[in-house]
Amino acid sequence: MARVRKPLEGVGNVVRFNWPFYAAAAGGLLLLALLAAAAPAAWQPYAWGLLALAALPLSASLLASYYVYDYSDLYRFGWLEPPAPAARQVLNIHAGFDETSRLLGQHFAGAELRVFDFYDPRLHTEASIRRARAAYPPFPGTVAVQPQDLPLPTRSIDCVLVLLSAHEIRAQAQRVAFFREVRRVVQPRGRVVVVEHLRDSANFLAYTVGFLHFYSRRTWLRVFAQAGFRVEQEQKITPFVSAFMLEVNGDSA
């Protein structure tokens, strides 16, 4: 039976895996509400206004998460047509939390899907990732890898997908090394699909300082060029998420 995402699964996972933050935020808002209710009448408009300002960033992040992960076409992959001509060997690479491989297996029904995970508990120390890994068992056959050393023959893959995970490689040189390794394993006429939040105004409005965990469009374009790719196509899946369709730059070493 085809796996279908549950209603509110995306935003539910955001809260579930980051519950200490949301519990503290909810407690803080409740305390502000109690203080506003107990304030003198002359101060109450200001107290309720302060509460509204405090609640705005939290509400914006949850609404954006719902829009991206539940409402949009992100996980229905309509934007992915066609990812590569006659893709038969498909590789999905993630960073410890995999909610796409089963869906991609349905999307690429005629292809062999391989799944690599470059999660490293020594580097990726966020408690949210540990909770996510405990909640979502790995896709059958998932292989743990180092991002700069993919255990595949050269030019063996038709389509490589790196969905919302490449930003977890925090050093610029290591990101370039990773994409050079991706370039090695992809067919000359193959495609590489990279999906990322960007460090831009839309993500700042949605996630405030959380947008600093992402990288700018300029940074990604520099990484792709240094790794030997050119951007064949770029599109916004939502105002908060960009997809880059890459192809091998034959002029690059």
pLDDT score, position 14: 94
Q: What is the pLDDT of residues 137-170, one digit of tens each?
A: 899 999 999 999 999 999 999 999 999 999 999 9
pLDDT at 54 > cutoff 60:
yes
Band of residue 253 on the pLDDT scale cut at 50, 70, 90: very low
Q: What is the pLDDT of residues 61-111, one digit of tens each?
A: 999 999 999 999 999 998 987 655 578 999 999 999 999 999 999 999 889
Q: What is the pLDDT of residues 5-42, one digit of tens each?
A: 888 999 999 999 999 999 999 999 999 999 999 999 99
State the sign of the Cα–Cα–Cα–Cα dihedral 74, 76, 81, 82.
Answer: positive
Please tell me the CATH superfamily of domain 82-248, with its number. Answer: Vaccinia Virus protein VP39 (3.40.50.150)
pLDDT score, position 1: 38
DSSP SS3 for 231: strand
DSSP code, position 90: E
pLDDT score, position 6: 86
**Domain edges within the chain:** 9-71, 82-248
Predicted model pTM: 0.91
Query: What is the chain's length?
Result: 253
> What value does the mean pLDDT take over residues 172-187?
97
d(CA 221, CA 241): 15
| CA nearest to 99, candidates 198, 12, 192, 32 | 12
Q: What separation in angstroms does the CA of 82 have from each of 42, 106, 108, 192?
A: 61, 15, 11, 12
Q: Which residues pair with 35 in a beta bridge?
A: none
Q: How far is CA 94 from the centre of its chain?
A: 9
pLDDT at 221 > cutoff 60:
yes
Pairing of strands 241-248, 229-238: antiparallel
